[in-house]
Amino acid sequence: MDLLQDPRYKEAPVYLFFEKYIMDVIGELAIEKEEILQNIDLQNVFCTQATEWRDVVIEVLQLSSTINIAILEQWYKEQEKVRFSHTEINANQFSRNFVDRYFDENSSLDKWTEKTLADAKAYIYESQNLEKA
């Protein structure tokens, strides 16, 4: 089935690309998918100034400069939850859930105070260091 025929993406095809953006941020985007995305002329599809696929997604959705922090903070929190339940995270499902939560009208994802942003950055830093250990 053509993914863009999926009801989820038919109305808002940019959601598919946002999900791939999220996968890229968390380091779970397969190289083959990355190559496919680089070869799609998203600039023409979405009529943007940006040319690189990630930048097109950012422009179309008007994502903030802190979106990667929001994604990574949620990713590491999810990893922390499953670590204790001895299950695995499905990165595709995580990206879909993130998109759904991000566009929820009451979403607080990527909304920061100085303190919450600093805390999120520190949490990500600690989580990344735990991964390396």
Q: In this structure, which amino acid lies at residue 48? A: T
Residue 63 domain boundaries: 3-132
- Locate 3 and state its tokens: 């993914």
Q: In this structure, which amino acid lies at residue 133? A: A
Q: For 61-84, how does the pLDDT look when each residue is reduced to its tens digit (9 = 90+)?
A: 999 999 999 999 999 999 988 887
Predicted TM-score (pTM) of this structure: 0.91
- Locate 55 and state its tokens: 């930048």
**Residue with token string 């690189």:** 52
Q: For 86-120, how does the pLDDT look when each residue is reduced to its tens digit (9 = 90+)?
A: 788 899 999 999 999 999 999 999 999 999 999 99
Report the candidate in 21, 66, 22, 25 with the shortest Cα–Cα distance to residue 40. 21
Domain count of the chain? 1
